[in-house]
């Protein structure tokens, strides 16, 4: 005896064109800065090596920076391909099935959704439309970014929930949205500058520790 499983009423997938444009925009801003930082670090190491006659351990440090950059590039390429290949939302008659970029599946019961947020997030580079599904306690159940999903897909999900959407007359920042809905936006997204400073400080500390370890290993050997 076999049981037929009804196919989803509609399957939504990310927009390749929208995501490609978003990625290219981010690359135009991030790549020059990354190359500048790495180039300065490599130049400093080469200058140090030249000043002490090549006795310093500049080689491993340079390769460390190069390795980190290459690892970032490889991860970005793999993530890009898997995100577009695996991500989807199936709108069924009784539930929403969400598949993430790793292929992991979770189910959202429309009856458990307490609020639908349709907002435009104001970013320094550009405003982007977004859709949030929150449960009855205000916790985030689903986030759809306008840098990945077309507006039609967001409207389809909103329509499947059958709740009046909460909107705002003007674009809001992540910090402003977090003030209105504390569990809809993470602290990291609401405070990107502070997060960047923390990450930069941590990266600097790791680099210093790594250089100390290399120096101790060299002289200890």
Coil/strand/helix, residue 177? helix
Contact 134, 184 (CB under 8 A): yes
Mean local confidence (pLDDT), 66-93: 87
Q: First and final CA of the chain: distance in angstroms?
A: 71
Q: Residue 210's Cα: distance from chain center in Å?
A: 27
pLDDT tier at 187 (50, 70, 90 boundaries)? Answer: confident
Q: Residue 45's Cα: distance from chain center in Å?
A: 32
Residue 177 has pLDDT above 80, yes or no: yes
pLDDT tier at 84 (50, 70, 90 boundaries)? Answer: very high
**Kind and range of the H or E run holding 8:** none
Mean local confidence (pLDDT), 86-109: 94
Q: What pLDDT does 129 receive?
A: 96
In the chain, pLDDT over 70 holds for what percent of residues? 78
The strand pairing partners of 60, in sequence order, are none
Which tokens in the block code for residue 84?
């577009």
Q: What is the mean pLDDT of the chain?
A: 82
Which tokens in the block code for residue 51?
């000043």
Closest CA to 184 of 141, 136, 120, 126: 141
Which tokens in the block code for residue 39?
């180039």
pLDDT in tens, 113-147: 999 999 999 988 889 999 999 999 999 999 999 99
In the chain, pLDDT over 90 holds for what percent of residues? 47
Mean local confidence (pLDDT), 166-186: 92
**Kind and range of the H or E run holding 32:** helix 16-51
Q: What pLDDT does 162 receive?
A: 87
Residue 43 has pLDDT above 50, yes or no: yes
Q: What pLDDT does 220 receive?
A: 56
d(Cα 140, Cα 26) in Å, to the nearest integer? 25
Q: Residue 142's Cα: distance from chain center in Å?
A: 14
**Kind and range of the H or E run holding 129:** strand 127-135
């Amino acid at each position: 005896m076999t049981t037929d499983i009804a196919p989803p009423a509609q399957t939504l997938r990310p927009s390749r064109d929208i995501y490609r444009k978003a990625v290219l925009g981010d690359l135009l801003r991030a790549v020059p800065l990354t190359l500048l930082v790495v180039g300065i670090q490599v130049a400093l190491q080469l200058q140090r090596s030249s000043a002490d006659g090549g006795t310093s351990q500049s080689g491993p440090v340079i390769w460390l920076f190069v390795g980190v950059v290459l690892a970032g590039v490889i991860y970005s390429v793999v993530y890009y391909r898997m995100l577009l290949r695996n991500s989807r939302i199936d709108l069924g008659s009784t539930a929403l099935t969400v598949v993430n970029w790793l292929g992991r599946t979770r189910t959202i019961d429309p009856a458990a959704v307490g609020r639908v947020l349709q907002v435009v997030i104001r970013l320094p580079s550009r405003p982007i439309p977004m859709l949030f599904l929150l449960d009855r306690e205000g916790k985030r159940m689903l986030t759809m970014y306008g840098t990945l999903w077309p507006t039609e897909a967001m409207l389809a999900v909103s329509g499947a929930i059958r709740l009046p959407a909460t909107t705002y007359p003007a674009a809001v920042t992540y910090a402003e949205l977090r003030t209105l809905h504390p569990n809809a936006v993470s602290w990291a997204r609401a405070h990107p500058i502070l997060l960047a400073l923390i990450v930069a400080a941590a990266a600097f500390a790791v680099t210093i520790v790594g250089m100390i370890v290399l120096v101790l290993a060299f002289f200890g050997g």
